[in-house]
């Protein structure tokens, strides 16, 4: 049932083919690197380089967690498992791989852990809104490109938010310890 909803959502989203270049850009490593550099410059300007390093390292831990879960869960990507259906529906041109790296979406997990930490630590409304929108669009890009199912994106986002909250609590305790010394 969920898989059918996932596939139907993928096909529906892919009907917005005018967004293809935009979604490809959002899923690129270059876009992620650009955002990280811009945020680093912002944090340097605020003289909060340690905070930036913490957010960056927490996101790296989230990425490792996502990779561990991918190996443990070994859930297929839609562009591999459902390639015939997606090809015949005009969503993709060919099957993709690696086949068993679908759950969770690491792109989404990483964006949401980063976003959660930015929201909770930086507390800048404009930057928070920007990262929330960007994270959601990255999630949609993964579905549009048939790299992940809707459920894999939602789970990646939830794991990212939960890890972000956990790391915020660590950050808060670390800050309290620093100020009490």
Highest mean pLDDT out of 32-36, 90-94, 160-164: 160-164
Which pLDDT tens digit goes with each residue over 107-149?
A: 999 999 999 999 999 999 999 999 999 999 999 999 998 889 9
78 alpha-carbon distance from chain centroid: 17
Q: What is the mean pLDDT of the chain?
A: 90
Torsion angle of C-alpha atoms 52, 58, 62, 64, degrees rounded to 10:
110
Number of Cα atoms under 13 Å in the Cβ half of residue 75? 20
Secondary structure (3-state) at 100: coil
Residue 71 has pLDDT above 80, yes or no: yes
Secondary structure (3-state) at 92: coil
Would you state the pLDDT for residue 2?
67
pTM of the full predicted structure?
A: 0.89
Would you state the pLDDT for residue 174?
87
Q: Distances in Å between the alpha carbon of 164 and those of 20, 42, 86, 170?
A: 30, 20, 34, 10
Lowest mean pLDDT among 33-37, 49-53, 97-101, 125-129: 97-101
Copy the structure tokens of residue 84.
């015939």
Would you state the pLDDT for residue 1?
65
Length of the chain: 181
Per-residue confidence band for 90, with pLDDT thresholds at 50, 70 and 90: confident
The stretch 99-108 carries a mean pLDDT of: 88
Percentage of the chain beyond pLDDT 90 is 59
Q: Quick count: other Cβ atoms within 10 Å of Cβ 138?
A: 25
d(CA 85, CA 74): 21
Q: CB of 109 within 8 A of CB of 66?
A: yes
Would you state the pLDDT for residue 177?
81
Percentage of the chain beyond pLDDT 70 is 98
């Amino acid at each position: 049932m969920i898989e059918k909803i996932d596939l139907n959502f993928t096909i529906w989203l892919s009907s917005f083919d005018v967004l293809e270049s935009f979604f490809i850009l959002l899923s690129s490593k270059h876009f992620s690197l650009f955002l990280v550099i811009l945020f680093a410059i912002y944090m340097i300007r605020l003289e909060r380089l340690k905070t930036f390093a913490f957010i960056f390292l927490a996101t790296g831990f989230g990425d490792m967690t996502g990779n561990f879960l991918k190996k443990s869960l070994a859930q297929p990507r839609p562009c591999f498992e459902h390639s015939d259906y997606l090809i015949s529906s005009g969503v993709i041109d060919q099957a993709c791989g690696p086949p068993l790296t679908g759950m969770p979406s690491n792109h989404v997990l990483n964006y949401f852990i980063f976003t959660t930490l930015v929201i909770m630590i930086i507390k800048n409304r404009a930057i928070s809104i920007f990262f929330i929108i960007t994270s959601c669009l990255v999630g949609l890009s993964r579905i549009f490109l048939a790299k992940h199912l809707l459920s894999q994106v939602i789970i990646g986002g939830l794991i990212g938010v939960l890890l972000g909250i956990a790391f915020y609590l660590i950050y808060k305790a670390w800050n309290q310890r620093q100020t009490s010394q």
